[in-house]
Structure 1
Amino acid sequence: MEEWIKLAGDQGAAVMLAFFLVYRMERKLDTLIWTVQRQNEQLFSFSGRPGALKNSTHAKKP
């Protein structure tokens, strides 16, 4: 936390805010990518019989 405060003092609040927002956006993009990949796996594992999606394997979230 002290590093963030020092960075804000040295480089300015605008730069620190930009880094913080990029960090948050990256986390949300990682979650979105994981969700899309999981949906693709479920879609392609569907074999046409009822209940096939319920029995598909679920990947663990990183």
Structure 2
Amino acid sequence: MEQWIPLLGEYGFPAAVTFYLLHRVEKKLDRINESILRQQHTLPEPVPRLEKQR
């Protein structure tokens, strides 16, 4: 147990900050995903691609 205390002191804060930031990023990615899914339902059918002229 005595070996873990210095490790937690050294790596505990960076690990906590990392998990906090990952949690915030996850929320934002979820909102972006929901927005993209909403756009799929509101946009009209895709326009057919035009053939490239050579």
Q: Which TM-score tier does this pair reach, normalised by the shorter chain?
A: 0.5 to 0.7
| Greater RCO structure (CA 8 Å; 6+ sep) | 1
Q: CA deviation at 1:12?
A: 5.0
TM-score of the pair, normalised by structure 1: 0.55
Q: CA deviation at 1:43?
A: 1.1
Percent identity reads 0
Tell me the equivalent position of 1:45: 41
Higher Rg: 2
Structure 1 residues 37 and 19 mapped into 2: Cα distance closer, same or farther (>3 Å)? same
| Alpha-carbon separation, structure 2, partners of 1:14 and 1:24 | 17
| Alpha-carbon separation, structure 1, partners of 2:29 and 2:3 | 31
TM-score of the pair, normalised by structure 2: 0.61
List runs of 5+ in structure 1 lacking aligned partners: 1-5, 49-62
Q: What one-letter code is carried by the residue in structure 1 that aligns with 2:41?
A: S
Q: CA deviation at 1:19?
A: 0.2
Tell me the equivalent position of 2:32: 36
Q: Are 2:14 and 1:18 equivalent residues in the alignment?
A: yes
List runs of 5+ in structure 2 lacking aligned partners: 45-54
Q: What is the root-mean-square deviation of aligned Cα atoms in Å?
A: 2.5
